[in-house]
Amino acid sequence: MSYEDVPFESSLSTVRQLSSENRCIAAYDQLGLEGGCYPSRETVDEAARQVVAALEESGWVRRNLLRKDFGTWTVVMIRGNESLACAVEELSSSSEGQDQQLFREGYRSLVNLTLNRDVTQTGADTASP
């Protein structure tokens, strides 16, 4: 079995304190997107580090640096002809809607992943955050 045969969701099974439940199935389906959002009990910084490390162990390569803007970590990763956009945002008492409910359930961050297929790889940045 090659890395490309492993769904990105399987890569996340090694991430500590990350819920395996996709909390955004309906929204992603409505938008015609592949992916989902997974709440974590880790801080936003630790969740981002763990998710990227788990994806890299499954053969995903960073297309750009993992960076934090306005409290949200973002990175795009490439594997074969697929790209995976990853954003990890902090949950707080000022979060709204579903995010507020997740915060009340004890989650501290939310990992959003969106998969795109048939992407031409133009190069990857393998530097660490």
* E-only strand ranges, 14-96: 34-40, 61-62, 67-69, 72-79, 82-90
Per-residue pLDDT band for 129 (boundaries 50, 70, 90) equals very low
Residue 113 has pLDDT above 70, yes or no: yes
Q: Which amino acid is at 84?
A: L
Query: What pLDDT does residue 21 have?
Result: 85
In contact, 111 and 16? CB cutoff 8 Å: no
DSSP 120: P
The predicted-structure confidence for 36-89, as pLDDT tens digits, reads as follows 899 999 999 999 999 999 999 989 999 988 899 999 999 999 998 899 999 999
- Average pLDDT for 98-122: 86
Q: Which residue type is seen at 112?
A: N
